[in-house]
Amino acid sequence: DAGVIQSPRHEVTEMGQEVTLRCKPISGHNSLFWYRQTMMRGLELLIYFNNNVPIDDSGMPEDRFSAKMPNASFSTLKIQPSEPRDSAVYFCASSLTQGRFEQFFGPGTRLTVL
């Protein structure tokens, strides 16, 4: 199994630009999570999906952030417009909804907004 796949691995953009982060979960997993990690705030859950349906988006910082999961094998996290304070590492993780509940993390996308 290839594990959770994220793209791009690194993104450098200018303030005001739209940024789209992509995630392919592990096949057969039906829960998907988006996290943001910074030195100041640690690892924060932004949103998670069960069976492609958003369950809890209370961690999404503001309306500039949106996430979609059009099918079981793909999700996007979009920031529009981006701001320097959005600079962070964004992780996608997937898990089985039932059973052991361990989450499998992707390698992350390091976002730098200038």
Partner 1 sequence: SQQGEEDPQALSIQEGENATMNCSYKTSINNLQWYRQNSGRGLVHLILIRSNEREKHSGRLRVTLDTSKKSSSLLITASRAADTASYFCATEEYGNKLVFGAGTILRVKS
82 binds partner 1 (CB under 8 A): no
- The footprint of partner 1 on this chain (CB under 8 A) covers a number of residues equal to 23
- Contact yes or no for 33/41 (Cβ under 8 A): no
**How many beta carbons lie within 10 A of that of residue 21, not counting itself?**
21
CB of 47 to partner 1, least distance (A): 10
53 binds partner 1 (CB under 8 A): no
The residue (of 65 and 91) whose beta carbon lies closer to partner 1 is: 91
Which of these, 108, 20, 23, lies nearest to 73 by C-alpha position?
23
Compute CA 95 distance to the chain's CA centroid, rounded to the nearest angstrom.
Answer: 14
Distance CA 26, CA 18 (A): 27
The residue (of 15 and 43) whose beta carbon lies closer to partner 1 is: 43
Residue ranges in contact with partner 1 by CB under 8 A: 4, 31, 33, 42-43, 45, 48, 50, 55-56, 91, 93, 95, 97, 100-108
